[in-house]
Amino acid sequence: MRDVVVIGAGLAGSGIAAALAQQGWDVLLIERDSFPRHKVCGEFLSPEAQASLHALGLYEAVAALDPCPVTNVRLVTQNGAVVEAALPGKAWGLSRYAMDGALATAAQMHGAELWTNMAVKRYMPEGDGFIVQLRDGAAQRSVQTRAVIAACGRHTQTGLPPKPRDLDRRKQAVGVKCHYDQISMPAQVELFMFPGGYAGVNAVEGGRINVCLLAAYDAFAQAGKNVESMIATAAAANPGLAQRLAGGRALAETAVAVAPVDTGRPPAPWDGIACVGDTAAMIPPLCGDGMAMALRSAQLCAPFAHDYLRGTLSLAAWQTQYSTLWHAEFNARLRTGRWLQSLLNRPVAAELLVKAGQAMPALATYMVQATRG
């Protein structure tokens, strides 16, 4: 009988596994992939993430990866209008290829057990705990545990959170990402608007830059459902992006795509079990706060899980208290981020917003701060 099984070894999963293992609990962290791995992600750690890394005992593991400093944000419309704002502190550019494996290893060093290449099929209540059913290659196995925490990411298979919405796939978005080298990048994250989506660009470790796009399904289909052609299509529509990528070399081995990406899914920090990271909710990527929110949700959830395991908090109280705290922390951020995304996806509205930011720099700074804690 395990104390807790954490499903998914991304930032939130490794974060809460590390926190609970440091409290002395028997933690099993299960990941369906192996490390290292490339993931669709803006690979931008906002300044707020560093406080959560400290609280979870993971700061040194990430700082040792030589992240690139990021101090400003710059937004460029299709017509070339530009607005810039300072970030409320120094952010980091760091690839998931480097970071995810390092965090999972750090969770192990704190006492968690890590199983990779292991798919969780479903979990079922059993007495005072749960049975978690797994697939290890062609073999089936099961684990008994007192508690289960879902850190499965933004989309998963049937039987695990989050529950998909019944929406037309073509009305949802596709995420693509690719690293480039031979490009000089200042210490800033840049957002470029194009018809059907936007692209984020910032430096990561190793002299590379990360180019990450969120595009409407139709835009991705028209680009041939190919990562590099989607980036080329976006660059053709936004001269600023084309200029940033000029002379760069796409690293084909880093190109990945994911679909569907549903940034409007209602938040659900509890769905039969505690949910952390993107499993609970996904903030639009243009806010650059997704990884910080993942780490913060793990930080919020861990004390309730600890109290439940030591018998001072009921499962119902864990659900109520964690959900209340989660909503208080993130609801306003999600509303602001989704409003900004809907506005910036309309070219005329995007131009007006950027011009307002140019005329009133304090407005641009406020919008940056309104999407983070």
Closest Cα partner for 190 from 292, 286, 90? Answer: 286
Q: How confident is the model at residue 120 (pLDDT cuts 50, 70, 90)?
A: very high
Q: Which fold has domain 2-43+60-65+96-165+264-343?
A: FAD/NAD(P)-binding domain (3.50.50)
pLDDT number for residue 301: 98
Q: Mean pLDDT over residues 219-235, rounded?
A: 96
Side chain identity, residue 72 = N
pLDDT digit string, tens, across residues 28-53: 999 999 999 999 999 999 988 999 99
Spatial contact of 179 and 286, defined as CB atoms under 8 Å apart: no
For the cut 90, the answer to whether the pLDDT of residue 211 exceeds it is: yes
DSSP β-bridge partners for residue 201: 190, 211
pLDDT number for residue 364: 74
Q: Over the chain, what is the mean pLDDT?
A: 93
Q: Give the burial string for 194-217 (b: 16+ CB within 10 Å, else e).
A: bbbbbbbbbbbbeebbbbbbbbbb
pLDDT digit string, tens, across residues 262-307: 888 899 999 999 999 999 999 998 888 899 999 999 999 999 999 9
The pTM of this model reads 0.94
For the cut 80, the answer to whether the pLDDT of residue 373 exceeds it is: no
pLDDT number for residue 227: 97
Spatial contact of 200 and 212, defined as CB atoms under 8 Å apart: yes
Domain boundaries, the chain: 2-43+60-65+96-165+264-343
